[in-house]
């Protein structure tokens, strides 16, 4: 069987990394996209719901097995499944990028104004939106992409939580068997 070696450290680091990317992009929506701050509540609800749904779904699709590492009875846990969840996260990032460049443009992603960017004498390509939009449409574009990103991040967190739960349950079972 082919799968991925379960590593608590890597699982936690990747989960934090995915959450950090999503949080940074959503933070930009509030900072430069003028998304109302009250949207934090539905965004949080979406992450929690997607995480819970993914956690439950992962129970059915993930498979785990152990391989003996050496003759002393210790073993390594491997997991398989959940690729669709990663693909959904990547798809959400791609859709977000496409919507951003069509409706928002790249100038919204610089924290400084254009004069400050050009102070050092180098030019940076700053693209306006491909479709001219009013502020309401821009906020709708930010909100749509943020919800996609929150769903993707929640799915990954739920999957990784299931992997960690299995890992710790197995370690607890092994300790209880040795008693």
Q: Is 115's pLDDT higher than 50? A: no
Q: Is 120's pLDDT higher than 70? A: no
Q: Which two tokens mark 109?
A: 């992603």
Mean pLDDT, range 59-80, rounded to an integer:
84
Mean pLDDT, rounded, of the chain: 83
Structure-model confidence comparison of residues 28 and 8, the more confident one: 8
Q: Is 43's pLDDT higher than 80? A: yes
pLDDT in tens, 126-149: 667 777 778 888 888 889 889 988
Q: Which two tokens mark 111?
A: 């924290």
Mean pLDDT, range 54-80, rounded to an integer:
86
Mean pLDDT, range 146-160, rounded to an integer:
92
3-class SS shares of the chain: helix, strand, coil, % to 5 = 70, 10, 20
Q: Is 23's pLDDT higher than 50? A: yes
Q: Which two tokens mark 135?
A: 């502020």
């Amino acid at each position: 069987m082919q799968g991925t070696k379960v590593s608590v450290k890597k699982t936690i680091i990747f989960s934090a990394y995915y959450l950090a990317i999503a949080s940074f992009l959503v933070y930009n929506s509030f900072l430069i996209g003028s998304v109302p701050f009250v949207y934090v509540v539905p965004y949080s609800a979406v992450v929690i719901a997607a995480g819970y749904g993914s956690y439950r779904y992962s129970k059915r699709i993930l498979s785990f097995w152990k391989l003996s590492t050496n003759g002393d009875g210790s073993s390594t846990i491997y997991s398989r499944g959940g690729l669709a969840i990663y693909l959904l996260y990547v798809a959400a990032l791609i859709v977000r990028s496409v919507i951003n460049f069509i409706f928002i443009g790249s100038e919204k992603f610089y924290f400084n104004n254009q004069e400050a960017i050009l102070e050092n004498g180098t030019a940076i390509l700053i693209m306006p939106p491909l479709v001219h939009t009013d502020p309401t449409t821009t906020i709708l574009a930010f909100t749509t992409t943020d919800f996609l990103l929150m769903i993707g991040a929640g799915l990954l967190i739920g999957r990784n939580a299931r992997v960690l739960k299995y890992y710790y349950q197995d370690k607890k079972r092994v300790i209880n068997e040795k008693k």
